[in-house]
Amino acid sequence: MPFKAGLELTEMQNMTVPEDDNISNDSNDFTEVENGQMNSKFISDRESRRSLTNSHLEKKKCDEYIPGTTSLGMSVFNLSNAIMGSGILGLAFALANTGILLFTLLLISVTLLSIYSINLLLLCAKETGCMVYEKLGEQIFGTPGKFIVFGSTSLQNTGAMLSYLFIVKNELPAAIKFLMGEEETFSAWYVDGRLLVVTVTFCIILPLCLLKNLGYLGYTSGFSLTCMVFFLIVVVYKKFEIPCRLDEKNATTSLSPNSSIAYVDTCQPKYVTINSKTVYALPTITFAFVCHPSVLPIYCELKDRSQKKMQMVSRISFFAMFVMYFLTAIFGYLTFYETVSSDLLHKYQNKDDILILTVRVAVIAAVILTVPVLFFTVRSSIFELTRKTKFHLCRHVVVTVILLAIINLLVIFIPSMKDIFGVVGVTSANMLIFILPSSLYLKITHQDGSKLIQRIWASLFLALGVMFSLVSIPLVIYDWVHSGDTAEGH
C-alpha cells in the first residue's frame, strides 16, 4: 500500500546522500566527497574513485544529506501502509491449500526473511548513500542494475494495480445488485464486472491519473489501511455468525447416508494440506509482504534517522501486519474452510447484510483511489528511465491512456486473483525480497574480508531466492496452463 512520501518519487530521485545519527563516529558509514574524490568501502582503487566521483557529482544523486522530518510512529504507519495491500484477500485461500500448521510456518518465515531483506537494503543504502532503489541498482551494477530494479518495482506495482481493479471487477457488481434489491443471479449487462471495471477506469481513475500532481491522494493510504482493519473486524465477527455450509457438490448429496461424513470432512480444519493449489501459497504470502520500493523513501523521511531506528520501524510494522494477516487468514478459513476463494471478500454474498455491503463499498472506494497513486509511481519511473522527466502534456496523456488500456485488458482476461498473486509473487516479489537486496549487498562487500559471516548469510539468502524461483515458476506456469477453473474470477 503506498504512502504519502511514495508519491514524491520524481522528487526523491533527485535526493542525495543521507547521514546516519552516528556518522561522525564512523568514518565508513556513508560516502564522503572531499576534494573531488569519493571514499567508500566498496571502491578499492584510486582510479575507480575518480570515475565514480565525476559521474555522481554531475548527476548529484548521492552527494548531499537532507534531514528527515517524519517521526518514528508515523514512519511505522507509513511502512504498514506500504506492506498492507490486496494480498490480505488471498491469504485465507493460501491457508486452505496448505493447512494451518504449514501456513503459519510459511507466514512466520516470510515475515522474518522480509525483515532481514530490509536490513540488507539499509546496509546497501548506508554504504553507498543512495536513497532511491533504482539509483542504488545503477550505482552498484550500472545500467543493467537500474533496469532490473525498475522492472521489478514496476511489475510489483502493476500487479498491485491489477489486484485492486480485480476487486472492483468482483465486488462492484455485487454492491450494485444489493442497492438495486436484485438477487446475486441477476445478470444485466450494466452489472457485468468487466464493463464496470472499464467504466470506473476511464471515468474515475483516468482523470486522476492525468493530473500533474497526485500529492493529495497520499491521504488515501490512511483510509485504505482503515478499510482493511474494518475488513479484518468483519471477518472475525462473521466467523461466529455464519455457520459452516457444505459446498455445492456435497449439498446435492445432503439426503444421502454419507452426508454427515461429507459435512464433517468439509467443516473440519486441516492442519497440513498438499494439493495442486499449494504452489500458490508461498507466492501469495510473498506478494503480501513486499514493501521494498517504499523502504528507502520512508527511511529518507525519518527524523534523526539511523539504521537501528529504521530497523525498529520495520520490525514493528511487520509484526503488526503479521498479526493482521494471520487473523484474517485463520478466521476467513474457519468461516468457509475448503470452499474459500482467492478473493475472500467475494465469499460474503448475503444481499441483506448491511455490514458486508459497507465493508465492500469501503474497500472498493479505497482501491479505486489507490490505483492512481501506484500508477503515478510506475509512469514516473518510465519517464525517469527514458530521461523524459520534463512534463509534456501530449506524452503524459498518451502514455497514461496506453498503460491503463493494457492494465484493463489484463484484468478482463486474467481468470482469478490467485493468478496475479502467483505470477507477481514468484517474479517481482521474489526479486525485491530475496534476490536484489542480497545481490547488492554481496557486490558492495565483495572485497571486505571483515564481513565474511554476513556475506555467508547473504549468499544463503540469495540461494533461497533462486531456489524459490526455480521451483515455483514452473509449477505456477504448469498449473495456470492446465487449470480448468477459469470461472472463479468472473
- What's the mean per-residue pLDDT of the chain? 78
| HEC per residue, 169-193 | HHHHHHHHHHHHCCCCCCCCHHHCH
Q: How far apart are CA 171 and CA 298, in angstroms?
A: 32
Rounded to two decimals, the pTM is: 0.76
Q: In the chain, which residues have pLDDT < 70? A: 1-65, 213-221, 245-265, 351, 389, 483-490
Quick: pLDDT tens for 324-342. 999 999 999 999 988 888 8
Q: Which domains does the chain have, with CATH numbers?
A: 68-482 (1.20.1740)
Distance in angstroms (rounded) separating the CA atoms of residues 245 and 242: 9
pLDDT of residue 342: 83
